[in-house]
């Protein structure tokens, strides 16, 4: 049981037809297996999100294929996509954009259950509380709406929603980048905990090598659309083989320790910054 992206390339057509577009992703191959965390690291613009969107079926590759349990998703029928979406969920960078502001939190986290017609109203309400508990968010927030909740809490809520259908795979595309540093470690630890307790397969995408190191069993390095290195986390930190990876390790060592690591300070969401400052705290560079 795996998701396998095989020789994926993606060329975005440029508006001016004369311009030659360089591929956003080039011949990328990776495999996501249950119980494992695959870290995908690379600078902004290296093609991480494009690859993630292709894996999720949100974007068509120019060439290559995605195999879900050995079946190419390009051959999927509606029912296959239904099954796929139940098992493969995503968490994105900015929960403020990802969640509907007018919906109550309780309704947000159980929306997937309604879509799949799972349970009755009372069962879904009970499940909503359970889901919030899983991500350590107070059930008091069930009747609140996103604007009343901090960014860190909102990302937890986005994760709760992604867990509603009990997926096997979670694709996290820069899930910390819109959050204040003080709440990042809490989210990392939550993901680690979920991965270990539920045996989730995690594809964790970040431009922050330190975070990827903390989470991953296997590390992939992407540069200008290509996966230039794939190594176990241990191998990787003993000495990555690609010069670019070495450069990244050097950079990571030179900057502050990452979320989930030894960064001092509070990790609880109760210390959240106000939303205004939070969204500007860190941007992918
Ligand atoms: N919808 C799109 N149309 C045209 N170019 C795109 C589109 N999405 C991404 N790109 C380009 O593809 C490259 C990779 O982007 P992206 O996958 O977002 O990188 P990352 O997630 O690593 O920052 C960038 O050069 C970006 O400008
Ligand atoms: Mg991205």
- What CATH class does 3-10+23-99+168-278 carry? alpha beta
> What was the pLDDT predicted at 240?
76
Q: Which of 85-89, 109-113, 198-202, 251-255 has the lowest mean pLDDT?
A: 251-255
Q: How far is the CA of 139 from the centre of ligand 1 (A)?
A: 38
pTM score: 0.86
45 alpha carbon, closest ligand: 1
pLDDT averaged over every residue in the chain: 87
Task: Determine the average pLDDT of the residues in 197-219.
Answer: 91
Residue 248 has pLDDT above 90, yes or no: no
> What was the pLDDT predicted at 209?
87
CA nearest neighbour of 105 among 24, 161, 168: 161
| Residue 83 burial (C-beta neighbours within 10 Å; 0-12, 13-18, 19+) | middle
Nearest-CA residue for ligand 1 atom 14 is: 47
Q: How far is the CA of 49 from the centre of ligand 1 (A)?
A: 7
> What was the pLDDT predicted at 270?
39
- List the structure tokens of 209: 């090598």
- CA-to-CA distance for 129 and 255, rounded, in angstroms? 39
Nearest-CA residue for ligand 1 atom 2 is: 12
Q: Which of 4-18, 110-124, 220-234 has the lowest mean pLDDT?
A: 4-18
- CA-to-CA distance for 210 and 188, rounded, in angstroms? 11
Secondary structure of the chain in HEC code, one letter for each residue: CCEEEEEEEECCCCCCCCCCCCCCEEEEEEEECCCCEEEEECCCCCCHHHHHHHHCCCCCCCEEEEEECCEEHHHCCHHHHHHHHHHEEEECCCHHHHCCCCCCHHHHHHHHHHHCCCCCHHHHHHHHHHHHHHCCCCHHHHHCCHHHCCHHHHHHHHHHHHHCCCCCEEEEECCCCCCCHHHHHHHHHHHHHHHHHHCCEEEEEECCHHHHHHHCCEEEEEECCEEEEEEEHHHHHHCCCCHHHHHHHHHHHHCCCCCCCCCCCCCCHHHCCCHHHHCCCCCCC
pLDDT digits (tens, 9 = 90+) for 188-199: 999 999 998 888
- List the structure tokens of 279: 């969204």
- Ligand 1 atom nearest the C-alpha of 284 is 23
CB of 206 sitting under 6 A from ligand 1: no
pLDDT digits (tens, 9 = 90+) for 30-82: 999 988 999 999 999 999 999 999 999 999 999 999 999 999 999 999 999 99
Domain boundaries, the chain: 3-10+23-99+168-278
Strand-pair partners of 10? 25
Task: Determine the average pLDDT of the residues in 105-114.
Answer: 97
- CA-to-CA distance for 222 and 239, rounded, in angstroms? 17
Q: Sorting pLDDT into bands at 50, 70 and 90, what band is 13?
A: confident
Cβ–Cβ < 8 Å for 152, 186: yes
pLDDT digits (tens, 9 = 90+) for 129-186: 999 999 999 999 999 999 999 999 999 999 999 999 999 999 999 999 999 989 999 9
> What was the pLDDT predicted at 143?
97
CB of 23 sitting under 6 A from ligand 1: no
Residue 273 has pLDDT above 60, yes or no: no
């Amino acid at each position: 049981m795996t998701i396998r992206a095989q020789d994926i390339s993606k060329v975005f057509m440029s508006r001016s037809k004369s311009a030659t577009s360089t591929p956003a992703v080039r011949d990328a191959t990776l495999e996501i297996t249950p119980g494992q965390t695959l870290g995908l690291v690379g600078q902004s613009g290296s093609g991480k999100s494009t690859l993630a969107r292709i894996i999720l079926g949100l974007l068509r590759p120019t060439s290559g294929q995605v195999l879900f349990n050995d079946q190419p998703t390009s051959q999927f029928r509606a029912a296959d996509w239904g099954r796929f979406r139940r098992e493969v969920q995503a968490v994105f960078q900015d929960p403020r954009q990802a969640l509907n502001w007018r919906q109550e939190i309780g309704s947000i986290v159980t929306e997937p259950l309604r879509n799949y017609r799972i349970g009755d109203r009372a069962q879904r309400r009970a499940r909503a509380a359970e889901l919030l508990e899983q991500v350590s968010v107070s059930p008091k927030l069930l009747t609140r709406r996103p604007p009343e909740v901090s960014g860190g809490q909102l990302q937890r809520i986005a994760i709760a929603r992604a867990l509603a259908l009990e997926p096997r795979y979670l694709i996290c595309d820069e899930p910390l980048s819109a959050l204040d540093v003080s709440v990042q470690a809490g989210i990392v630890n939550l993901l680690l905990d979920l991965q270990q307790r539920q045996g989730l397969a995690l594809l964790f995408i970040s431009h922050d090598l330190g975070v990827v190191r903390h989470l991953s069993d296997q590390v992939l390095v992407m540069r200008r659309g290509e996966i230039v290195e794939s190594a176990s986390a241990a191998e990787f930190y003993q000495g990555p083989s690609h010069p670019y990876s070495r450069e990244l390790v050097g950079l990571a060592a030179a900057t502050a320790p990452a979320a989930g690591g030894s960064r001092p300070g509070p990790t609880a969401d109760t210390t959240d910054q106000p939303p205004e400052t939070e969204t500007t705290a860190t941007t992918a560079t």
